[in-house]
Amino acid sequence: MAFDGVTIAGIVSELKDKLTGNRIYKIAQPEKDELLLTIKGSCGQVRVLMSADASLPLLYLTEKNKTSPMTAPNFCMLLRKHLQNARIVSVTQPGLERIVRFELEHLNELGDICRKYLIIELMGKHSNIIFCDDGDMIIDSIKHVSGMVSSVREVLPGRTYFIPRTQDKAELLECSQEEMAAVLKSRGMPVYKAVYTGFTGISPCIAHELCYRAGVDSDQSSAELGTDALCRLTTALWELSEDIKNSKFCFNVVYENNQPAEYAAVRLKSYAEEDTRNFEHVSELLEFYYAEKNTITRIRQRSVDLRRIVQTALERNVKKYDLQTKQLADTEKKETYRVYGELLNAYGYGVETGAKSMEALNYYDNRMITIPLDPMLSAGENAKKYFDKYQKLKRTCEALTTLTKETKEEIEHLASISTALDIALKEEDLVQIKEELIESGYIRRKGGAKREKITSRPFHYVSSDGYHIYVGKNNYQNEELTFRFATGNDWWFHTKGIPGSHVVVKANGEELPDRVFEEAGRLAAHYSQARGQEKVEIDYTQKKNVKKPNGSKPGFVVYYTNYSLVIDSDISGITLVIVSSLMLNLHLRSLVIKIYLVHNLFTISSFIRGSICYYLVIPNIGKIIAIFIFLLLQFDINVSNFNLYCRNSRITVACFQLYTEFPAICVQFIL
């Protein structure tokens, strides 16, 4: 799973074939450490994604575009000044270094041809994108590295660019088999480690693969290798070197437990064929492999502030709860003090002055007890003292019982927000979580700031048997799904005693197959704090049994009639429904629809005031009107999500009727 020199050699081979001779049409910087170049030429139009992110450096071709900031960063503006319409002369890789060098030709202000170099270094936390002139002088870089940060090399405008040599490694592409054997013999370490520390561009994954091909124990010391084993290993290295020189790559991803585990630019023969997926191009492999990982990495970076706020509040409330629980435990003595006071009032007349204790029969359990006394006080005064303690502890107990309950609810609420942050996959998901934190008082809304538009929607899955399953991403969506979207006979799922999403299965008045219950249970386990566990207990019941207590936190519910199942959190095989606006337009053009009016009047005033949903299922003229208003509203939604935002019972019925008639897409009109 390393972005090693062999993989970069495969990328360079692809970039050479598709980009050489073409021109840079557009330069964008969607992230602070990422460039997106649009290339046009004989290859048509392609995009090159360059990321110098410390946790996930990448370089590959893509068809996807990304939203750029309104104001371009300085580095992006500099590149646009010099490289707009520049021609790509060559794409090279020095040896098997994790470096790609773009040689670019452009016209300067005087119309003279000049050459510049855009260098991408893909080296983990040291990754960078550096712009140099034809004399290797650095013009600028996406990250500035001063002498205070690195004692090896400064990356600053005006400095000379060079590749730092910090490790004593041999160049695999320039070594003979005898030289390879000498390198391996000179390192007294496990064979696989000797391979990837001895040669440039080799990752531990490739090193293990080479040992497997050579039939050598990877944990054996390289210094103890026999002549035959050493010969087989150097032959495997030589064959790898020749494949790289001739651009003979095999791009493949290996799966473990239905999850991508490793990828490489050479065939990983150490894994079973059925656990391997092959790709024609390395860009396809990288986009597939890193798509989810990159999304999660980016969203975690953007949610850092929210996570810190939630974690700080959670830790504070946990400490408060522990202190309150301890104080509540101390109030358990109050009944003892009350009994002492009552017995002193009953038998205190016989207590001698100055006595330090008194023995009396406890008429509650018919046992003799010893009551400690203050010798400076009379029996009546001692009784009053015990009654005062009892009253104080009683008041404390009553107050702490309420406070402890509130603190526990707050902890559960914060834990559910923390889980929602883990579930969030897009920035719009974070908007709704931030709004919840503002309304809960953890974040102060900036003066004059408007409430941000909520565009996040629940996950929509389709089970193996065709039933629609919905999963809330946060507490607000959980509440919408459970109390506004779900009907009485729909099935509701949630992890038992663990923060997580509400899962709703639309039953459509039918009896669900067992497999649907299992798949919904897996979704409930996956979208919870128990994600990754093999055994998770899930409670499920019909929606009509789920209630919301008055004044409770968002997403908090109670239920007293339920079933339970224990299941894993693996959701592979359950189809996630993704609907784009393009798909909506295509469906609109292909649907013949009619009009269902769910309100009596259609007036301008109702257009302004109301919140009535009108569904268009009309022939040609209605279809034109539908598309026209849709373009005005610029709003699209899956038909099965329609009644999520309905407030009128008749509308909900109409939504359900429409949903049963058309399992595809429609337009929502908010009038």
pLDDT digits (tens, 9 = 90+) for 282-321: 999 888 887 766 666 677 777 888 999 999 999 999 999 9
Over residues 94-117, the mean pLDDT reads 91
Structural tokens at position 1: 């799973």
Over residues 520-535, the mean pLDDT reads 92
* N-term to C-term CA, the chain: 52
Q: Which of 425-439, 521-535, 631-645 has the highest mean pLDDT?
A: 521-535
* Statement: 172-298 belongs to CATH 1.10.8.50: yes
Output the pLDDT for position 114.
92
Q: What's the CATH architecture for 5-141?
A: Roll (2.30)
Residue 669 has pLDDT above 60, yes or no: no
User: How large is the angle between the packed helices 227-245 and 177-185, nearest 10 degrees?
Assistant: 120
Structural tokens at position 3: 């972005």
Q: What residue ranges do the domains of the chain occupy?
A: 5-141, 172-298, 459-576, 581-670
Q: By C-alpha distance, which of 434, 474, 468 is closest to 577? A: 468
Output the pLDDT for position 308.
92
Kindly report the number of other CB atoms within 10 A of residue 578's CB atom.
Answer: 9
Residue 392 has pLDDT above 80, yes or no: yes
Q: By C-alpha distance, which of 572, 307, 534, 305 is closest to 417? A: 307
Residue 541 has pLDDT above 90, yes or no: yes
Residue 500 has pLDDT above 90, yes or no: yes
Residue 196 has pLDDT above 80, yes or no: yes
Q: By C-alpha distance, which of 286, 288, 302, 303 is closest to 57? A: 286
Q: Is pLDDT larger for residue 623 or for residue 94? A: 94
Residue 534 has pLDDT above 80, yes or no: yes
Is the Cα torsion angle 277, 280, 286, 292 positive or negative in sign?
Answer: negative
Output the pLDDT for position 573.
81
Structural tokens at position 529: 């704090």
Q: Is pLDDT larger for residue 352 or for residue 97? A: 97
| Angle, vertex CA 200, rays to CA 196 and CA 202, nearest 5 | 40
Residue corresponding to tokens 């295509």: 586
Output the pLDDT for position 450.
72
Range in 2-16, 91-105, 588-602 the model is least confident about: 588-602
Residue 625 has pLDDT above 60, yes or no: no
Over residues 225-240, the mean pLDDT reads 91
The residue type at 346: A
Query: CA 2 to CA 122: how far, in whole Å?
Result: 11
pLDDT tier for residue 122 given thresholds of 50, 70 and 90 = very high
Output the pLDDT for position 643.
38
Output the pLDDT for position 666.
40
Q: Is pLDDT larger for residue 447 or for residue 598? A: 447
Residue 482 has pLDDT above 90, yes or no: yes
Output the pLDDT for position 595.
31
Query: CA 267 to CA 246: how far, in whole Å?
Result: 15
Q: Which of 182-191, 425-434, 513-522, 616-625 has the highest mean pLDDT?
A: 513-522
Range in 358-367, 411-420, 489-498, 597-606 the model is least confident about: 597-606
pLDDT tier for residue 330 given thresholds of 50, 70 and 90 = confident
Same fold, 5-141 and 172-298: no
C-alpha torsion 389→395→397→403, nearest 10: -150
Range in 395-409, 413-427, 589-603 the model is least confident about: 589-603
Residue 1 has pLDDT above 60, yes or no: no
Output the pLDDT for position 580.
40
Residue 27 has pLDDT above 70, yes or no: yes
Which H, E and C letters describe 405-425, residue by residue?
A: HHHHHHHHHHHHHHHHHHHCC
- H helices present in 545-636, as ranges: 581-590, 604-609, 620-633
Output the pLDDT for position 291.
72
Residue 444 has pLDDT above 70, yes or no: yes
| Angle, vertex CA 383, rays to CA 342 and CA 358, nearest 5 | 80
Output the pLDDT for position 393.
92
Residue corresponding to tokens 């004692």: 151
Output the pLDDT for position 528.
93
Query: CA 238 to CA 260: how far, in whole Å?
Result: 28
